[in-house]
Structure 1
Amino acid sequence: MEASDVHILSAGTALPGDPLDNAGLARHFGMDPVWEQWVDAFVGTRARHLSVDLATGKLRSSLADLSTEAAARALDAAGLGPGDVDLLVLGTATPDQLMPATVNLVADRLGINGVPTYQLQSGCAGAFQALEVGRKLLLAGEERTALVIGGELCSRHFDPDVDLAKLDSAELVNFVLFGDGAGAAVLSTEPAPGTPVIRRVLNRLTGLDRAPGQIVEWTGALDRDATDRAYIKEDYKAIEQSVPVMSREIAEELLGDLGWEPTDVDYLLPPQLSGRMTQRIVESLGMPTAEEVSLVDRIANTGNAMPFFQLERTLPQLAEGDRVLGVSVESSKWLKAGFVLEVV
């Protein structure tokens, strides 16, 4: 028997280590204090959490570590255990290894077995893709409960010994924008009081004939010592131009599908690229009555983890009739993503 609605019962998150502020980042990389002031003024991201210990170059936590912690917190908040999970979905751009899939390592650590598992390779849209896969499988099948996870280990791709002063802007900006983290949500076809229904999820590729806005390279035995390319780079100017426009398009489409006006939105979960960029996006969306839920200035851009941090902050505040709009843009090949929730 097919279900009619899928509810988000809970969310949980995890961050590695202590926050690293811009002053600490500047000290480690030997950057001038003016650089720190530039980050504060023009990027607007004050701190981030990194799995890599910059002093030693050692990895303190893996994506599986963070995802397991976040998932356990989400299950606990829902009053459920590993035995209640019918399917598991993970969205990430930075899995721990090619094989085994990180989602299966997480399942093993949680004690989950005998259920379908899925891992989706994507940037900031991956969390929305994971939500949509979990939602559609619950609507179509006999499963009742899905555990959906998103997370990133961006710092794995940074060289803690690099001379930042010698990097071009496409490489340098990544050291400022990104942090590590993981988040999870429990989806269910069985409603609980005060939990929102997922009304819509949008996932759409729009990058035909467009150059990528961000590239993160794999490294293998044949190319890990290559010196003719950067392993992570970002076209920040293209992102500045495109993301606010795409965000408006996402909001207009999702609200239009439901016949809602911008003033019908009670909580806005905007893209979390950087503190300053998020401000621009929120202003362009024109939803003055919606409460903005943003954390990027405190934990930086955590990619696929971020929507779960926003949900964790929002879910306890929701009351009957409240409506939530989440928006994200993935610049790697220009993907639109979003969701709409409503408490009924």
Structure 2
Amino acid sequence: MDCPSIHILAVRTALPGPPVDNAALARRLGTGDAWVRWAETGVGVRSRHLARDLESGAITHTLADLGTEAARDALAAAGVAPADVDLMVMGSSMPDMLMPATVNVVADRIGVNEVPTYQLQGGCAAFVQALQIAVRRLSSGEARTALVLGGDTWVKHVDPSSDVKRLSPAELTTVALAGDGAGCAVLSVEPRPGAPVLRGVDSRLAGGPPAQTLEWFGAHADTGQPAVTDDRAAVEERVPELAAEAWRELLDGAGWKDSDVDVVLPPQHSGRVTDRVTAALDLAGVRSVSRVEEAGNCGNALMLLQLEEALAGLSGGGRAVGLMVEATEWVRGGIAVEVP
């Protein structure tokens, strides 16, 4: 989808509490140094931010809390009043509850009302899909200013007080990977000097058996069924292939060559997978922005974390391509952004 007239006025993110490193998580789980080394080298995550207190197990933040913080900060950075927002879209794989929609809770808290609101539920593709909906409505003239949010919290699925001996390999990997966070982008059809411009946004179903599943009931429902499954071999094999396809599709859509891109935002399934993607793309001279190593896999917040950092580094101008591959049902896509 070509979107030459959509401007990104601000991107802001919110993470709950201080970072929790692998050593602190290992102490809580009752594992040893070998687990710490595995989490850092085998998974590729050094720390994460958790919406649950590590010691007491109490939930400290909801997704609505984090989304509200990110949205308020983004509006302030953009100089946009809540009354000027006429569209909100949110992507998440783990909303706070079935009803009400988290996007509506956030809208109510920040004072946005009488506007269309949408919430998409999906893996790490949902933020890009939310962006597609916003771009479509902005481009058609149905809206002029939109908030697009993405985020996830693992509190229903990851309990640091769990008996590590009872966890399946997939659940143990999820404990090492999981991080919580949210982000918000302010989009507008009104041009501003120096504001980044969306040159493309795309997502499409690639098909195939899911490599990851996440049951709605969570880790604590005592159903006897696994809350999480994770085929790491499939993720590590297929994500780089689909990322390369998404890269070519986005560049062709924007009319760019490989050498036109200054920054790439690779998929963030884990630090290990990110390394495989950047190696597969073989982009000499293109800076890679990765956040999964210190923020964990916070799902639909990760591209916003990457984008916030990338745009700060492109204040003098440049082009960035963000890649997304969702392994739950193999969705590929991403965004192309140009900073004047």
- TM-score, normalised via structure 2 length: 0.95
Matches within 5 A, 1:153-302: 153-207=153-207, 210-219=208-217, 225-302=221-298
Give the Å deviation of 1:219: 2.0
Amino acid at match of 1:270: P
Matched residue, 2:77: 77
8 Å CA contact 1:8–1:187 kept in 2: the answer is yes
Partner secondary structure for residue 162 of structure 2: coil
8 A Cα contact 2:206 2:330, kept in partner: yes
Deviates further, 4-13 or 116-125 = 4-13
Q: Displacement, 1:310? A: 1.1
8 A contact 1:8–1:195 mirrored in 2: yes
- Three-state SS of the structure 2 residue aligned to 1:52 is coil
- 1:195-237 residue CA offsets vs partner (Å, 9 max, x unmatched): 1211111110112xx22111111129xx974443111221111
Relative distance call for 1:224 and 1:38 in structure 2 (3 A) is closer
SS in 1 for 2:94: coil
Identity of aligned residues (%): 49
The Cα of 1:33 is off from its aligned counterpart by 1.2
Would you say how many aligned residue pairs link Structure 1 and Structure 2? 338
RMSD of Structure 2 on Structure 1 (CA): 1.7
What do the CA deviations read for 1:93-142 (whole angstroms, capped 9, x no partner)? 01011011000000000011011100000110011011111111101124
- TM-superposed CA distance for 1:239, in Å, is 0.4
| Letter paired with 1:174 | T
1:276 CA drift (Å): 2.0
Unaligned runs of 5+ in 1: none
Q: How far 1:319 moved relative to its partner? A: 4.8
* Partner Cα distance (1:321, 1:19) in 2: 31
Q: Does structure 2 retain, via aligned residues, the 8 Å contact 1:194–1:318? A: no
**Normalised TM-score (structure 1):** 0.94
Whole-angstrom distance in 2 between the partners of 1:82 and 1:300: 31
3-state DSSP of counterpart to 2:155: helix
Q: Which runs of 5+ in 2 are unaligned?
A: none
SS in 1 for 2:146: strand
The amino acid across from 1:262 in the alignment is D
Residue 199 to residue 54, structure 1, CA distance change in 2 (3 Å): same
> Partners of 1:225 and 1:271 in 2: how far apart?
31
Of 311, 314, 325, the residue aligned with 1:315 is: 311
- Distance in 1, matches of 2:64 and 2:317, equals 36
